[in-house]
Amino acid sequence: KKHRVEDALQATRAALEEGIVPGGGVALVNAVEAIKLDSIDDADERTGAAIIVRALEEPIRQLAQNAGLEGSVVVSQVREAAKGNGLNVETGQVEDLFAAGIIDPTMVTRSALQNAASIAKNILTTEAVVAEPPEKQPAGAGAGMPDMGGMM
């Protein structure tokens, strides 16, 4: 409980310092408008910009999928909605997130974006990346009746 109070205090300080933006990744989707894919002539630069667009949309896409909704459909709805509107996961609707009280401190959103860009730059300029191999997941039971495989 103490950690939650400290987290709330830090978020409040950040909000007072730089303001607030609609939460749920809406500010990132709104930032997509600054990327003019059609005006980029170089194919490699256009591909890089398209990757950035996809990355900016990913938080909303993931929230939608976690809520049992189709992520790409929700991203499209948010992009077409008025500024400040986004997915309210509790209602499953695209609505005014400021009115719903779903907000993020601007500092937190900006810092996350800057840190992600910095990490991406480091990965792109590094000749090798060390990663742990993914853990193998045991195969789940087939659909229908479990342990009934191979009945033929």
pLDDT attached to residue 149: 53
pLDDT at 91: 93
Q: What is the pLDDT of residue 10?
A: 80
H-run or E-run covering 86:
strand 85-88
pLDDT of 73 reads 96
pLDDT at 123 (0 to 100): 86
The hierarchical CATH code for the domain 22-125 is 1.10.560.10
Domain chopping of the chain, boundaries: 22-125
Block means of pLDDT (10 residues each) for the chain, length 152 residues? 80 78 92 89 91 94 95 95 93 94 89 91 84 81 54 50
Counting runs of H as helices and runs of E as strands, what totals does the chain give?
6, 4
- The pairing of strands 85-88 and 20-22 is unpaired
